[in-house]
């Protein structure tokens, strides 16, 4: 057995462990024009990883000489995977959004571990970055992704992509074909005879919303003209308004060859075939989708047992639903902060929350005790988020003004979503790539400033969070209220010279970002003083109170809640009874 095959089998075992213990995870929401309060399309993304640093990626538009190449790096390790040819022109990107208001997010679902291609070149992040640099619309991005994996192989496990432009949002799910090495005499090396991927992309109908959170959600889908395969000619129909689905030509045939599926074509389910449902996929993943859907649709109780993993034979949640009300940017900010509050699984209410109602659990997600395996809940808001965003795309405005990347670093529960217009031509220093990293502390980097506040909040959560939320709400509401005036000023400049509008929006975004970081630094200092040593200094409207002679007023001693006192008594009896 050669080294590549040894590596392949080791990878399979590691992927099996990952599928049953999905620690690295993300959550995406997709909102169509008809489902939003202002007619914008929106997608959201949370980059949840214990090693992901929160920074705002920036790639300016560029022209490339013939023969240029792009180096592909593994997203999880930074290992160079190889090179592919560069195109003549690439578009500007801010984070995972480009100058044409095209945005992409993802969540990893893993799927069948034997389908990981150890020879593939294009990993999921490279597909996102390159699609944004080469495509103007969601449909074009799907075509770029499909073409790249066909030509260069797919290097990641199963992925779900959220892909949105100012007019449409799509969900695309993709998984590799595994590794079948055979020696090629002409090339004088082993090649993978199964290079490529199987995938399907579904357009979310206008007026509906969707979501995904680390489990494949596309089940049945309409076949093109009743056919089971997509032909090269179908790419010519990419602009057809009626187009609802695009898929790999062999998405069903490949499943038959692998003996994953034997039913009729019309009954084929991508998720059930390539990512069979198990308890963790429901409880850790589908429950996060349910939590978002439940906020906007009164019919979600029927899916509780399924999403909670209590009855997985129950009907699966639909891929998309019609909300009972229109959804705003502010709604998505709050959805990113969900910890199942208001349900029987509220993370702030069980014993793991401790005396201060902490809705977080430190990893590992699953744990062993006396030969049994247990778990902590995996909810939307989580401590290991590197960054998250809400991409807002507005078709009625010029691209230079229409796209806003509402971007926040670290835990979504304690971050502030700052508006970065997608046309801006520089990134403020606090958010720049390379200004600190996950192992290098930089006191003025946004990621580290927000982490300081978050970690303080984790110590005394239900005491500290009212102070954090007050400033968070103050800033986010200010930014939301400023959008109309900012757009109007930019439009006025745009009519004179689009470059003036871009410069204005760049200055505005950078100023708001730096102001946010400075305000958060002040909050960090305030919290340290107020809650020093576990007591609470007396303050009013942010000013600490002193007596007439300038001496601090006595602090308050909040102590512990009755629920925690009762727990102590249950475990210790009269041990601490004062006699």
State the DSSP string of 69-132. Answer: EEEEE-TTT--EEEEEEPPSEE--EETTEETTS-EEEEEEEE--GGG--TT--B-HHHHHHHHH
Indicate whether 484 pLDDT > 60. yes
160 found inside a domain: yes
| Residue percentage of the chain with pLDDT more than 70 | 93
491 found inside a domain: yes
367 and 406 in a common domain: no
Q: How far is CA 355 from the centre of its chain?
A: 30
Indicate whether 438 pLDDT > 90. yes
464 found inside a domain: yes
374 and 457 in a common domain: no
pLDDT class for 24, splitting at 50, 70, 90? very low
pLDDT class for 516, splitting at 50, 70, 90? very high
pLDDT class for 15, splitting at 50, 70, 90? very low
Name the domain boundary from 322, 338, 354: 338
**Across-strand partners of 479?**
none
Question: Closest by alpha carbon to 141, among 131, 150, 151, 128?
Answer: 131
- Average pLDDT on 231-238 reads 60
Could you give the CA distance from residue 177 to residue 257 in angstroms, rounded to a whole number?
11
349 and 204 in a common domain: no
547 and 452 in a common domain: no
pTM passes above 0.95:
no
Query: Mean of the per-residue pLDDT values for the chain?
Result: 92
261 and 343 in a common domain: no
386 found inside a domain: no
Distances (CA, A) of 23 to 70, 78, 113, 140: 30, 19, 16, 32
Q: What is the three-class DSSP state of 256?
A: helix
Token pair of 315 as six digits: 């009907």
Q: How many domains does the chain have?
A: 4
| Domain extent at residue 565 | 539-572
Residue keyed to tokens 């214990």: 50
Q: How far is CA 269 from the centre of its chain?
A: 24
Are 26 and 106 in contact by the 8 Å Cβ rule? The answer is yes
- Which pLDDT does position 236 carry in this prediction? 67
φ/ψ of residue 540, rounded to 5:
-140, 120
373 and 244 in a common domain: no
318 and 354 in a common domain: no
70 and 49 in a common domain: yes
Tell me the per-residue pLDDT of 172-184, one tens digit each, with 9 for 90 and over.
999 999 998 887 7
The residues, any chain, with a CB within 8 Å of residue 318's CB and separated by 6 or more, are none
**Across-strand partners of 437?**
440
165 found inside a domain: yes
280 and 164 in a common domain: yes
- Which pLDDT does position 5 carry in this prediction? 36
213 and 102 in a common domain: yes
Tell me the per-residue pLDDT of 313-346, one tens digit each, with 9 for 90 and over.
878 999 999 999 999 999 999 999 999 999 999 9
- Average pLDDT on 64-87 reads 96
- Which pLDDT does position 233 carry in this prediction? 44
- Which pLDDT does position 14 carry in this prediction? 38
Could you give the CA distance from residue 168 to residue 32 in angstroms, rounded to a whole number?
6
- Average pLDDT on 288-306 reads 97
Indicate whether 228 pLDDT > 70. no
548 and 528 in a common domain: no
Tell me the per-residue pLDDT of 111-163, one tens digit each, with 9 for 90 and over.
999 999 999 999 999 999 999 999 999 999 999 999 999 999 999 999 999 99
579 found inside a domain: no
pLDDT class for 224, splitting at 50, 70, 90? confident
- Which pLDDT does position 77 carry in this prediction? 93
Pairing of β 97-98 and β 169-176? unpaired
388 found inside a domain: no
pLDDT class for 234, splitting at 50, 70, 90? low
498 and 559 in a common domain: no
φ/ψ of residue 201, rounded to 5:
-125, 130
How many helices and strands, by DSSP H and E, does the chain display?
14, 25
Residue 204 or residue 224, greater confidence: 204
- Which pLDDT does position 188 carry in this prediction? 66
392 found inside a domain: no
Token pair of 417 as six digits: 């979503």
Are 320 and 205 in contact by the 8 Å Cβ rule? The answer is yes
Question: Closest by alpha carbon to 292, among 340, 328, 324, 326?
Answer: 340
Q: What is the 3-state secondary structure (H, E, C) of 43-69?
A: EEEEEECCCCCCCCCEECCEECCCCCE
Report the range of poorest mean pLDDT among 14-28, 55-69, 87-101, 174-188: 14-28
| Residue percentage of the chain with pLDDT more than 90 | 88
- Average pLDDT on 14-39 reads 72
pLDDT class for 495, splitting at 50, 70, 90? very high
Question: Closest by alpha carbon to 413, among 445, 458, 378, 350?
Answer: 458
Are 520 and 416 in contact by the 8 Å Cβ rule? The answer is yes
Q: What is the three-class DSSP state of 562?
A: helix
């Amino acid at each position: 057995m050669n080294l590549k095959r040894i590596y392949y089998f080791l990878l399979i075992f590691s992927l099996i462990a990952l599928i049953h213990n999905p620690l690295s995870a993300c959550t995406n929401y997709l909102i169509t024009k008809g489902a939003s309060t202002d007619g914008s399309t929106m997608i959201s993304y949370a980059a949840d990883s214990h090693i992901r640093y929160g920074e705002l990626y920036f790639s300016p538009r560029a022209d490339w000489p013939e023969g240029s190449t792009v180096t592909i790096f593994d997203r999880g390790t930074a290992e160079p995977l190889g090179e592919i040819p560069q195109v003549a022109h690439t578009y500007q990107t801010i984070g995972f959004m480009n100058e044409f208001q095209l945005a992409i997010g993802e969540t990893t679902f893993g799927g069948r571990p034997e389908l990981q291609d150890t020879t593939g070149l294009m990993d999921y992040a490279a597909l996102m970055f390159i699609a944004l640099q080469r495509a103007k619309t969601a449909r074009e991005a799907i075509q770029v992704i499909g073409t790249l994996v066909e030509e260069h192989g797919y290097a990641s496990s199963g992925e779900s992509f959220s892909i949105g432009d100012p007019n449409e949002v799509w969900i695309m799910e993709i998984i590799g074909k595994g590794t079948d090495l055979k020696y090629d005499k002409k090339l004088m090396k082993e090649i993978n005879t199964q290079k490529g991927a199987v995938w399907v992309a579904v357009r979310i109908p206008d007026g509906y919303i969707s979501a995904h959170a680390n489990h494949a959600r596309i089940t049945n889908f309409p076949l093109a003209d009743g056919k089971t395969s997509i032909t090269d000619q179908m790419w010519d129909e990419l602009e057809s308004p009626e187009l609802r689905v695009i898929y790999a030509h062999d998405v069903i045939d490949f499943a038959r060859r692998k003996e994953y599926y034997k039913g009729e074509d019309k009954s084929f389910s991508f998720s059930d075939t390539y990512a069979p449902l198990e308890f963790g996929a429901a409880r850790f993943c589908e429950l996060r989708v349910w939590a978002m859907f439940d906020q906007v649709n009164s019919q979600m109780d029927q899916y509780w047992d399924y999403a909670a993993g209590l009855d997985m034979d129950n009907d699966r949640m639909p891929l998309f639903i019609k909300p009972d009300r229109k959804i705003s940017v502010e709604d998505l900010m709050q959805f990113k902060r969900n910890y199942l509050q208001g349900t029987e699984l509220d993370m702030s209410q069980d014993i793991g929350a401790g005396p201060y109602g902490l809705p977080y659990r430190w990893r590992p997600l699953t744990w062993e005790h006396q030969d049994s395996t247990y778990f902590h809940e995996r909810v939307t808001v989580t401590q290991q988020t590197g960054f998250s965003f809400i991409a807002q795309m507005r078709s009625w405005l010029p691209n230079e003004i229409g796209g806003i990347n509402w971007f926040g670093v670290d835990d979504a529960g304690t971050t502030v979503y700052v508006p970065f217009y997608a046309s801006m031509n520089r990134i403020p220093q606090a958010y720049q790539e390379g200004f600190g990293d996950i192992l290098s502390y930089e006191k003025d980097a946004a990621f580290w400033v927000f982490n300081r506040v978050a970690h303080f909040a984790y110590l005394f959560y239900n005491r500290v969070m009212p102070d954090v939320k007050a400033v968070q709400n103050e800033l986010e509401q200010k930014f939301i209220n400023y959008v109309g005036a900012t757009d109007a000023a930019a439009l006025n400049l745009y009519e004179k010279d689009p470059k003036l509008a871009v410069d204005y929006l760049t200055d505005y975004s950078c100023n708001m970002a730096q102001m946010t970081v400075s305000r958060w630094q002040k909050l960090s200092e305030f919290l340290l003083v107020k809650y020093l040593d576990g007591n609470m200094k007396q303050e009013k409207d942010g000013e600490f109170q002193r007596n007439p002679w300038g001496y601090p007023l006595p602090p308050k001693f909040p102590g512990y809640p009755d629920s925690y006192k009762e727990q102590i008594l249950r475990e210790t009896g009269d041990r601490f009874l004062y006699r």
